[in-house]
Structure 1
Amino acid sequence: MGGNVDGRWYDGEAGPLVRPYAMTGGRTKPGPHGVRFDLIALVAVGPGGAGGAGAGDESLLEPEHRALLGLCRAETQSVAELAAEADLPVGVVRVLLGDLLEAGHVKVSRPVPPARLPELRILREVIEGLRAL
């Protein structure tokens, strides 16, 4: 199946392989600030990734960064969706998104914590009130 061919990792069906740690430079956490990306956090193109002032820096990005940025340009996606679409491990996607966030290429909206969501009872009362109108 896989093996070492001429000093490179190779898979007969997939072709040359790049190990996840090579894509992240050995890093396992996103950015210097340790930002944590929830699987359901939504990622969209930021000011530097939409052809704005920081767009010139895009040519300096690695192919994996550009691929994630391209997916975000198509539509806002969750971290889990980006990992599936890019066919990359979630840990790798989180590190790469940390790079893109730090450079201003993407923006992330975090999910609403369950403690801040309205209670089901309140929602039912609102629905009943609207029906009574």
Structure 2
Amino acid sequence: MPVPLDGPLLDAAAGRLIRPYTVSGGRTRATAALDLLTLVRATGNVPRSPLGPEHAQALALCRAPVSVAEVSAHLRLPAAVAKVLLSDLVECGAVTARAPRHHDNPADISLLEAVLDGLRRRL
């Protein structure tokens, strides 16, 4: 379920009004080990400290298991920025992260193609 990006953060003509590095507080590295296929899911725990609107949007996307790549695409943010946001949510206990399950071959090209096809259909 995509989160609408409207209001003061997005302008139809100009695009995103806040630079991605501002969203992550200038941080470029996530503190949690996340890759594009890592699955994240909300725990139901409410963060103790208030988080930014992008954190809230990311958390809303995590109601069901979703990949880091999907969160990045829905938020229209670079993957590195999405990883920082999700890492913050993991640290405060609002989200859990786990590596995807692979059957026989962890580098199975069909899995990667399926993820890519799914992302293309949603965008």
TM-score past 0.5 threshold? yes
Q: The residue matched to 1:43 in structure 2 has which SS? A: strand
- Map 1:22-101 onto structure 2 (within 5 A): 22-31=22-31, 35-46=32-43, 50=44, 52=45, 55=46, 57=48, 60-73=50-63, 75-101=64-90
Tell me if the contact between 2:41 and 2:97 (Cα under 8 Å) persists in the aligned partners: yes
TM-score by length of 2: 0.68
Q: Secondary structure at the match of 2:34?
A: coil
Per the alignment, in what secondary structure is the counterpart of residue 62 of structure 2?
helix
Cα deviations by residue, 1:19-63 (Å, 9 ceiling, x for unpaired): 1111111110112xxx331111100012xxx1x4xx2626x1110
Identity in percent: 42
Root mean square deviation, CA, Å: 2.4
- The higher radius of gyration belongs to 1
Identify unmatched segments of 5+ residues in structure 2.
1-9, 106-123
TM-score by length of 1: 0.63
Look up the SS of the partner of 2:48 in the other structure.
helix
Number of residues paired by the alignment?
96
Structure 1 or 2: larger helix share?
1
